[in-house]
Amino acid sequence: MRPSSTAALARRLGRRVGRAPRPALAPGPPTLRRAAADAALRREGYVVVDLVDAGTVERLRDLCVAVHAEPRSGWASDFYTGDPETKRAVHEAIGRELRGAVDRDFVAHASLLHNFVVNWPGPDGGLVLHQHSSVVDERRYRSVVVWCALTPSTEANGTLHVVPRSHLLQRGPRPEQAGSWAEDHEERLLRDHLVSVELEPGQAIVFDNQLLHCSFANTTTSPRLTAVAIVLPTAAEPCYYEAAGPRVRVHRLDPEFFLETQPGQLEWARPEGLELLHEEPWSPLEVGVEDVRSTLPRGTCSHVPA
């Protein structure tokens, strides 16, 4: 039975599938060296940091403009490009430029994947509310996304929006090719619990990989440019979690996988060729309305789906 069918059956029977327990602070060893920033990340699921200097911003912005030289509409990322040479060049360049900041600000962490994200002017930009697939065992560790502004990132040009504390509702792995608990609450989340995070160039949002986030159309005349990295503890083994009915297959994740495969539309490529480490029982997480109300604070902005 498909996960969505299992969840629907459980609702009819008045039960929960993989019911979310009472949220606690996110587990795992420290992520950030500054205690106050790490506490905010653990509690809220995100924190804003001053990441890189003006020279680094300029070099990354110049490369981003060169890679995304042809104006277009909508949201774009070179992660989805069909040109493996460009993907690798971008990955290596961002990695070099951010390495010093990661070493300085993070406790024994390394970056796994790097890419540029561009939100072009026009009504087709932005990205739907979502959370990322797990890349570490989140019962022991925490992975984060570093989302670094290369141009001013504002409400007008579709900056990143987050749902604070939503990472606390996710327990266990979120596999690739699986739905999110947030799908049943999307309108409420966008209306009542969304926060718009504005940044100056060189600042970054560091956010938990399980935090719900999205962006919206760029209503200005200039593209919004961002450099993005996934960062994880050096002690954690990177893994690809694959949904397989009532089980999840856990594969060893070689970083080269992202550079050598062609992902689908907003999803990773299938894990062909990755070493299967083990399988474990899994069921889709369901979160009730009361779980949402009691865990998530009120937002500072509201975006009601059309």
Residue 91 sits in a domain of what CATH number? 2.60.120.620
Residue 115 is predicted with a pLDDT of: 96
Residue 14 is predicted with a pLDDT of: 33
Residue 177 is predicted with a pLDDT of: 83
- The C-alpha atoms of residue 245 and residue 3 are separated, in whole angstroms, by 7
Query: pTM (2 decimals)?
Result: 0.90
Residue 36 falls within a domain, yes or no? Answer: yes
Residue 17 falls within a domain, yes or no? Answer: no
- Which residue shows structure tokens 């999205």? 214
Residue 97 falls within a domain, yes or no? Answer: yes
Residue 75 is predicted with a pLDDT of: 94
Per-residue pLDDT of the chain (306 residues; tens, 9 = 90+): 333 333 443 333 333 344 544 455 666 789 999 999 999 999 999 999 999 999 999 999 999 999 999 989 899 999 888 899 999 999 999 999 999 999 999 999 999 999 999 999 999 999 999 999 999 998 899 999 999 999 999 999 999 999 999 999 987 789 998 888 999 999 999 999 999 999 999 999 999 999 999 999 999 999 999 999 999 999 999 999 999 999 999 999 998 999 998 887 668 889 999 999 999 999 888 899 999 999 999 999 878 655
Residue 300 falls within a domain, yes or no? Answer: no
Residue 81 is predicted with a pLDDT of: 85
Residue 18 falls within a domain, yes or no? Answer: no
Domain housing 138? 25-295
Residue 306 is predicted with a pLDDT of: 54
Number of domains in the chain: 1
- The C-alpha atoms of residue 131 and residue 210 are separated, in whole angstroms, by 5
Residue 41 falls within a domain, yes or no? Answer: yes
Residue 164 falls within a domain, yes or no? Answer: yes
